[in-house]
Every structure is written in C-alpha cells, then in structure tokens.
Amino acid sequence: MNPSTLHPSSFRSIIAALGLAGAALAPAAQAATPAELLSGYTAQAGSPAVPARGQQLFTTRQGREWSCASCHGAVPIPTGRHASTGKSISAMAPAFNPTRFTDAAKTEKWFRRNCNDVMSRECTPAEKADVLSWLLTLKP
C-alpha cells in the first residue's frame, strides 16, 4: 500500500500502536543507546554530567584495593584485564565497542557490582552520569 494514500488519522493510530508495542517490549528488551542512558542518569541526578569528575572516579582508588581502572584500564579504550581473574574485558568506551551501554539492565547490573567492589557502595546517578559522559569523550 502506498503510504501517501493513507488518511492522516490512520497514521496516528499506527503510530499509537507502535508506541504501545514499544512500551510493552521495553522492560524485556531494554535496548538503549549510550546517549539515552546518559540522559536518564543526568535526569535522575538533576545536574549536568562532568566528564573530568568521571575520569577521576574511574582512575583513583576509593579506599579499597581496586579502582575501576584496575580491571578496565586507566584509558578504557583497549581491552582491559580483570584484576583477580586475569580475564580480558573488552573496551569500555562506546566509540571503541558499539555494544557498550546499549542494554540498561546489563549496565545497571555491572555498575552495582563494580561500584560495590571499588567503593563499598552503589554509585549515585550523578557518578554514573560522570563516568559515562567521560567514556563518551574517548574517540578513535
């Protein structure tokens, strides 16, 4: 069917149907872009992300044995290496690894686990926004 023959109201119902389908799928699929995750964290934080603060958090120890960089590398462009298992961890910066920060559930799970390992607490939305905004500044 040629879309130009559709009455505008049919368009509206198609768009409404797509919107509903998207909303229904969202909890299962959680597909996202790094930019969407960043704007979500920034909205929760209520203030703009500061990339330099994210870099600082990522590369310094927070009272425990490890920093984020211990496993991910200080400049998480190339592959990192797990500080205890020695397993390789693929690049964290989205420009070097297109699968990064595209699955909200995965991102949240690892933020929770890793922040606890490094800081003995979860990261705040502002800290997540800072780290992600810094990772987004890293370009080939």
Residue closest to ligand HEC, measured at CB: 68
Torsional sign, CA 121, 88, 42, 20: negative
Q: Which of 118, 126, 129, 136 binds ligand HEC (CB under 6 A)?
A: 118
Would you count residue 49 as binding ligand HEC (CB under 6 A)? no
Taking the complex as a whole, the smallest distance from the CB of residue 48 to ligand HEC amounts, in Å, to: 19
Nearer Cβ to ligand HEC, position 25 or 65? 65
Would you count residue 71 as binding ligand HEC (CB under 6 A)? yes
> Could you give the C-alpha distances from 99 to 58, 109, 129, in angstroms and in order?
20, 15, 18
Taking the complex as a whole, the smallest distance from the CB of residue 35 to ligand HEC amounts, in Å, to: 13
What tokens were used for 118? 């490094």
The residues, ordered by sequence, that sit 6+ positions from 126 with a Cβ below 8 Å of its Cβ are 41, 45, 47, 49
Q: What would the x/- binding string for ligand HEC be over residues 81 to 110, using CB under 6 A?
A: -xx-----xx---------xx----xx--x
> Could you give the C-alpha distances from 110 to 1, 18, 21, in angstroms and in order?
46, 31, 28
Taking the complex as a whole, the smallest distance from the CB of residue 119 to ligand HEC amounts, in Å, to: 6
